[in-house]
């Protein structure tokens, strides 16, 4: 969320920057809402002062006026104050609701554009493994042949866009989670959390999922209590410090968690219907960092390095791209996409988005830190490190061998107890 005064004062500059991401800022509506709030607050202050003065009577002593006359005047003033307070609350709510719909300002040095064609490639790492004669199979086909993915069972249980892993496939997912969490906690300095998978509307609003993306969320209500299934652990992890004043000496905070993620994928039907790339439910290890605003750029590069180290340990080929201004997420001001090579689709596909949100989420969620004698809004960053399903897809496709087996990276062997997946569910 933005500081309304900063948006209005920047005026045409804010309009220009938001237009780069396809958002039309209505400055007139913003100014009108801000004026209404200021007028309502001024009216409340004036009436409260008048009521305080009236309570003392004309000569500064209670009861100097007739008792009944004083009481009647007090009742009228109290009613006016209550009405003014209600108007002030409505004006504050209207301004907040308007501000909640305005996305973050993109960084000025991002490329222009609205899609992957305009993304700026930063680097490529590793050869395009898994391609060539007898190779290039899609992970859905490989998973069925190996007996580790069962699309039919998933469809029977829940319908489309769900997945069932079995035998060595389930072991592989558990092993991946353990390897990634060990790497992040033991070598990258993150603190692991186990967090709720159901959160409140306020929590979803704090990180920017609401109100804009409500149709993409799964919601439930039990006993009149509204709850949302998390689309990513970014939501509970970031909100762990919501409405808190942090000690600057404790920054940066580094948090990680493995959770299920639930996404309705509204508007995406017909895309990626095979395999595990776009599901309603999937597992993911998430990374979140909280820091001073002036340190956010350095922290973004650090987090990107942590994600890339995951892929190097897993011997996966990938590339890094800087997203254009029109393709970054609602809360982000800068995003790197890390895209893994998938020979079954003959392309690179996103496996992690690493984003710097500046103070956007910090202001929405009330995350502050003390800097000397002042209080400042904290900056937040997040990234996937990594999603389990997409990583399994990459391991299957890049590790496929001409004999139909899949060779897994050495780093996973201590966690799985096997190095190779064989057709029919066997391992060695």
- Does 10 share its domain with 156? no
What integer is the mean pLDDT of 391-403? 97
Tell me whether residue 19 is in a domain. yes
CA dist 416 → 140, 249, 355, 398 (Å): 21, 40, 31, 18
Crossing angle of helices 139-146 and 168-182, in 10° steps, is 120
Tell me whether residue 391 is in a domain. yes
- Does 166 share its domain with 47? no
pTM for the whole structure: 0.93
Domain that holds residue 265: 116-427
pLDDT at 60 over 50: no
pLDDT at 236 over 80: yes
Half-sphere exposure of 377 (CA within 13 A, CB side): 15
Domain boundary among 36, 70, 99: 99
pLDDT confidence of residue 373? 84
pLDDT tens-digit profile of 263-274?
A: 997 656 666 778
- Does 89 share its domain with 186? no
Tell me whether residue 106 is in a domain. no
Confidence of residue 413 (pLDDT cuts 50, 70, 90): very high
- Does 142 share its domain with 253? yes
CATH number of the domain bearing residue 40: 1.10.287
pLDDT tens-digit profile of 181-230?
A: 999 999 999 999 999 999 999 999 999 999 999 999 999 998 899 999 99
Q: What domain count does the chain have?
A: 2
Q: What is the Rg, in whole angstroms, of the alpha carbon atoms belonging to the chain? A: 27
- Does 70 share its domain with 131? no
Reduce the DSSP state of residue 64 to 3 states and report it: coil
Tell me whether residue 152 is in a domain. yes
Crossing angle of helices 168-182 and 388-398, in 10° steps, is 110
pLDDT tens-digit profile of 288-320?
A: 999 999 999 999 999 999 999 999 999 999 999
- Both tokens of 358, joined, read 């500046």
pLDDT confidence of residue 52? 82
pLDDT at 83 over 60: yes
- Does 31 share its domain with 126? no
Give me the chain's average pLDDT, please: 94
Q: Other CB atoms closer than 10 Å to residue 27's CB: what's the count? A: 15
pLDDT at 59 over 60: no
Tell me whether residue 111 is in a domain. no
Tell me whether residue 109 is in a domain. no
Residue burial 166-202, b: 16+ Cβ < 10 Å; e: rest: ebbbebbbebbbbbbbebbeeebebeebebeebbeee
pLDDT confidence of residue 266? 64
- Both tokens of 395, joined, read 């391991």
- Does 147 share its domain with 233? yes
Output DSSP code: residue 159: -
- Does 81 share its domain with 122? no
- Does 61 share its domain with 204? no
Tell me whether residue 135 is in a domain. yes
CATH number of the domain bearing residue 184: 3.30.930.10
- Does 74 share its domain with 166? no
- Does 71 share its domain with 120? no
What integer is the mean pLDDT of 7-22? 96
CA dist 312 → 366, 398, 409, 412 (Å): 36, 13, 10, 12
Residue whose pair of structure tokens reads 């922290």 in the numeric block: 299
């Amino acid at each position: 969320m933005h500081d309304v005064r900063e948006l209005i004062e920047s005026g045409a500059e804010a309009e220009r920057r938001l237009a780069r991401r396809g958002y039309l800022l209505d400055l007139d509506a913003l100014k009108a809402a801000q004026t209404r709030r200021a007028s309502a607050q001024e009216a409340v202050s004036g009436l409260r002062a008048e009521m305080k003065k009236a309570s003392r009577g004309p000569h500064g002593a209670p009861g100097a006026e007739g008792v009944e006359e004083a009481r009647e005047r007090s009742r009228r003033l109290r009613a006016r104050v209550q009405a003014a307070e209600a108007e002030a609350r409505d004006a504050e709510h209207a301004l907040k609701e308007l501000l909640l719909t305005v996305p973050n300002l993109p960084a000025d040095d991002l490329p222009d554009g609205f899609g992957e064609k305009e993304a700026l490639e930063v680097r490529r790492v590793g050869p395009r493994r898994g391609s060539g004669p007898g190779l290039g199979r899609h992970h859905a086909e490989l998973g069925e042949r190996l007996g580790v993915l069962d699309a039919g069972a998933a469809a029977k249980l829940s319908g489309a866009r769900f997945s069932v892993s079995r035998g060595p496939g389930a072991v592989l997912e558990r092993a991946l989670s353990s390897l990634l969490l060990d790497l992040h906690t033991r070598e990258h300095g993150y603190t692991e959390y186990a967090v709720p998978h159901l959160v409140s509307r306020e929590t979803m609003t704090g990180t920017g999922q609401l109100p804009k993306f409500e149709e993409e969320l799964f919601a439930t209500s039990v006993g009149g209590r509204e709850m949302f299934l998390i689309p990513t652990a970014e939501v509970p992890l970031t909100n762990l410090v919501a409405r808190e004043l942090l000690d600057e000496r404790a920054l940066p905070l580094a948090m990680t968690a493995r959770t299920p993620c639930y996404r309705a994928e509204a508007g995406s039907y017909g895309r990626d219907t095979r395999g595990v790339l776009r599901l309603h439910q999937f597992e993911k290890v998430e990374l979140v960092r909280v820091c001073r605003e002036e340190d956010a750029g350095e922290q973004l590069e650090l987090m990107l390095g942590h994600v890339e180290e995951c892929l190097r340990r897993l011997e996966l080929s990938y590339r890094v791209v800087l997203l254009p201004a029109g393709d970054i997420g609602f809360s982000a001001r800068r995003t790197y996409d890390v895209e893994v090579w998938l020979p079954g689709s003959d392309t690179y596909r996103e496996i992690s988005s690493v984003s710097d949100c500046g103070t956007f989420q910090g202001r929405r969620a009330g995350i502050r830190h003390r800097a000397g004698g002042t209080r400042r809004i904290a900056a937040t960053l997040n990234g996937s490190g990594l999603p389990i399903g997409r990583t399994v897809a990459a391991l299957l496709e890049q590790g496929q061998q001409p004999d139909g087996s899949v060779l897994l990276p050495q780093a996973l062997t201590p966690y799985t107890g096997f190095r190779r997946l064989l057709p029919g569910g066997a391992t060695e």
